[in-house]
Structure 1
Amino acid sequence: MLALPALAAAAAGPASVLAWAALLVTSVPIAACFAALGARFPDGGGVATYVHRAFGPRAAAIVGWWFFGVVPVGVVAGAWIGGQYTAAAAGLGDTGTAAVAGLVLAAAFAANLGGLHLSSRVQLLLVGLLAALLLAAVLAAVPQLRAAHFTPFMPGGWSSVGSAAGVLFFAFAGWEAASHLSAEFADPRRDLPRVTALTLAVITVLYLGLSLATVGALGPAAATTDTPLTELLARSVGGAARPVAAVAALFLTFGAVNAYLAGAARLGAALARDGAAPRWLARGGGPGEVPRRSLAVLAGACAPVGAVAATGAADLDRLMRATSTCLAAVTLAGVLAALALLPRRTPLWWAAVGSAAVVSTVLALSGPLLLIPLALAVAALCFQAVAQRRRARG
């Protein structure tokens, strides 16, 4: 929400709004599939559990490694966005960006160590406050909208819209992340469909509103700024908006990082429970428990990714595209599992068919970044082979 409007505008110009709209439309069947799977098979393993039921343990292990392995990249990217907004408001520079990003990560890990009950309460508060703030920012930008900012509409052609969709998938991949928390719902069959429908309504308003406001109010500047929400607010209410945007960015990035760490930590414990990861990771994976060992592994993986970002070896766009590629692979595996597990030729089953086609297209646009899920798949299979040999010797 804080960085993607600018990254998409840099890729496709005003036509980036088409990528936003297309992904919102295709989110409906994808969200419906994951809500149905979570309601039927609530488990901390999420997509890996569904794939295990549909295609067996080897495929489930690969999917689990895809998600668990890329979360450190995604959360560092998220924290980096909060650092950029804060550094821009305070004039801290690149060093300040890295320092603030580190603090966001530390706070999210601390919240999760406090237990998922505390974490979910914090998450609910953040979502409510920030949704209201973003809606206010969109409404405040309405007087600044200019039709001239939408021309030329598609300077890079249709391929640029596909490129924008590739990076934007980062914002549409939360359905499979939430599925890892399905077992935490009191009544998954009742609650998951309701939560999914409400989420779809909220993100449709916020995503489309923010993308249109960013392009329409900022014009060409939308593609060159690191802090589009700050620029949007500053043009509407003046320079006082900069510290407000910085605080908002900190809360929003903390919320996103917090949610992904919660899901990934539970997934790590579930993978260990099922023999797809080292057994010692399974501790703390039961309902109401805190998977501290899994969180520790995630923290250790975040350190080198953060170092890469701090040295400039990989910019924010590259980090987010890498994350999007792996999450798209996870999403595709999930909807393929839905095809096997849901009743055939029902509306949900046809939704899975359409979802598979859409996500396959997004993956095809990822190019060389497809090597990342390939490498994680190889690592997962190698671990399983070694584990099987050890069990055979024992």
Structure 2
Amino acid sequence: MGEARGDGTDSATSTGGGHLTVVQGVALYVGAVLGTGLLALPSLAAEAAGPASLLAWMGLIVVSIPVAATFAALAGRYPDAGGPATFARRAFGPRVSAVAGWWFYFGALAGMPAASAFGSAYVTELIGGDQTTTIVVAVILVAITVTVNAFGVRVSGRVQLVFAGVLALLLIVAVVVSVPRADVSNLQPFAPHGISGLAVAMSLLVWAFIGWETVTHLAVEFRNPRRDLPLATGISLAVISVLTLAVAGVTILVLGRKAAQTDAPLALLLAEGTGISARTVTAVIAVVVSLGVLNAFIASLSKLGSALGRDGALPGWLASGSEAGEVPRRSLLVVTIGTALSFVIAMLSGFHIEPLLLAENACLIGIYAIAMAAGTRLLPTGSWGWWLALIALCLVLVVLVLAREYLLFPLVLAVGAVTYRRWSSGGNHNRSADAAAE
């Protein structure tokens, strides 16, 4: 059924012909999924639900399994720079594909100031300065990752190994030095705020498990996507689950009530266990995490932009770089300019980045819904993959409600994507392909 919907423009093969390895794929997933939330979310969840927040962490790991597995199955079958946009094209046609592509491309661009400012804010606190310092350091972080990606995914994939390795090492050290000070009495009272507190904790932690869609845009860059993507996803699920539960567990067992009173529990654990300044530790972790997130997203955005240009959802000038081994430098240039504009908008609004981040989250959850729905049409009906996609779709639709008024941003982008497809010259050039896809 899914194969019949191909439009002839997707690289739907099981061999990518790229250079990314399974280990590099795991590094990309770890950087994209663990993200910046791991530094602060354990304390926020502990404040909302107490020790019961551990149940929220476990629950969302369980939710991640069908979502991640569906993305891996689809990317392995249809490795293409379009990622979820490609899945949507094959399942629902070019208009829905354009919407999914715009949601990731422009949604992630809107969130770039937030992703980079997270790390830069801690650097500012360490070295001293004001908001201008935070912005300057954030721009430097973006510039580093843009420069790395200008050399192609082969280089950015290797650099990502360093980022992910350093992050994993910091997390492991934090757990190891903290375990001797663990006290099971800190588990009482277990649920001081009842079921309502647990629900709040889950709503907060949802954003800690977004990022599984990112690597699908790089599927064509893997040596054997159909084999490597599911393997990298499975390993990543295990690594991310162990690391997050370990950090969340020692946060509760070691810090107790103090876990809800600090903005950076992970840094506090490291500082108390090693004797190093908490500010220094926090800044190092924040920078490493931010660089990992930015590197993964800029690599994915650049590839996606070239695919959207190829398929008529964005100007055809962007199409260069969508194939395996090619560097999408034109799309990378647009990503750089778009990020700069996002910074300007953020600065004009007083650099209040939370609305931008929530708007990006609304777009990403929308992409998840489309991708999971595509999985129910493209994966063999009744198979394990099909059932996982159906379960994931139901779970994602529930999560989508949490976006509330921020759903307006993806709605505006959807209108823009459909309008562009209808009136642009790119859409006219792809009319025959559109008819085939529909």
TM-score between the two structures when normalised by the length of structure 2: 0.82
2:82 aligned partner, one-letter code: G
Choose the corresponding residue for 2:402, options 357, 361, 365: 365
* 8 Å contact from structure 1 (residues 76, 305) kept in 2: yes
Asked if structure 1 preserves the Cα contact closer than 8 Å seen for 2:112 and 2:342, the reply is: no
Q: 1:130·1:248 contact (CA, 8 Å) conserved in 2?
A: yes
Task: State the match for 2:33 in structure 1.
Answer: none
Per the alignment, residue 420 of structure 2 pairs with 383
Q: Secondary structure at the match of 1:174?
A: coil
Aligned partners of 2:313 and 2:426 also within 8 Å: no
Match of 1:35 in 2: 72
Change (3 A) 1:86 1:146: farther
245-254 vs 11-20, which deviates more?
A: 11-20
1:389–1:354 Cα change, 3 Å: closer
Cα separation, 2, equivalents of 1:306 and 1:218: 36
Matched, 1:325 2:362: yes
Distance 1:228 1:106, change over 3 A: farther
Give the aligned residue type for 1:120: G
Q: Which residue of 1 aligns with 2:22?
A: none
Matched, 1:84 2:121: yes
Aligned partner letter, 2:127: A
User: How do 1:186-225 residues align onto structure 2 when only pairs under 5 Å count?
Assistant: 186-223=223-260, 225=262
Aligned pairs, how many? Answer: 393
- Distance in 2, Cα, partners of 1:150 & 1:312: 42
Q: Which residue of 2 aligns with 1:170?
A: 207
| Distance (Å, rounded) in 2 between the aligned partners of 1:25 and 1:107 | 35
Q: Closer, same or farther in 2 for the Cα pair 1:34/1:131, shift >3 Å?
A: same
Tell me which residue corresponds to 1:306. Answer: 343
Show CA shifts across 1:209-266 (max 9, x none). 1222334434455445443332222222224354244223212210111001111111
- How far off is 1:305 after superposition? 3.1
Please tell me whether the aligned partners of residues 269 and 291 of structure 1 are also in contact (alpha carbons under 8 angstroms).
Answer: yes
- Report matched runs for 1:11-26 at 5 Å: 11-26=48-63
* Gap runs ≥5 in structure 1: none
Moved more, 315-324 or 107-116: 315-324
Distance 1:62 1:374 in 2: 9
Q: Distance in 2 between matches of 1:304 and 1:252?
A: 23
Contact 1:169 1:328 in 2 (8 A): no
2:113 and 2:339 in contact (8 A); partners too: yes
Aligned twin of 2:111: 74
Alpha-carbon distance change, 57 to 198 in structure 1, aligned in 2, over 3 angstroms: same
Greater shift in the superposed pair: 357-366 or 277-286: 277-286
Q: Which residue of 1 aligns with 2:139?
A: 102
Distance in 2 of aligned mates of 1:210 and 1:258: 24
Instruction: State which drifts further: 228-237 or 103-112.
Output: 228-237
In the alignment, residue 285 of structure 1 is paired with which amino acid? S
Return the alpha-carbon distance in structure 1 between the equivalents of residues 113 and 275 of structure 2. 30
Q: SS at the partner of 1:296? A: helix
What is aligned with 2:319? 282
**How many Å apart are 1:43 and its aligned residue?**
0.5
Q: Distance in 2 between matches of 1:233 and 1:188?
A: 38
Give, in angstroms, the shift of residue 151 of structure 1.
5.1
SS at match of 1:363: helix
Structure 1-normalised TM-score? 0.91
SS in 2 for 1:286: coil
Q: Is 1:3 equivalent to 2:40 in the alignment?
A: yes
Give the secondary structure class of the aligned counterpart of 2:79. Answer: coil
Gaps in structure 2 of 5+ consecutive residues: 1-37, 432-438
Q: Does 1:339 align with 2:376?
A: yes
Contact 1:167–1:321 (Cα < 8 Å) also in 2: no
- SS of 1:95's partner is helix
Task: Report what 1:128 is aligned to.
Answer: 165
Distance 1:155 1:295, change over 3 A: farther
Q: What RMSD over aligned residues (CA atoms) do the two structures have, in Å?
A: 2.6
Which residue number corresponds to residue 88 of structure 2?
51
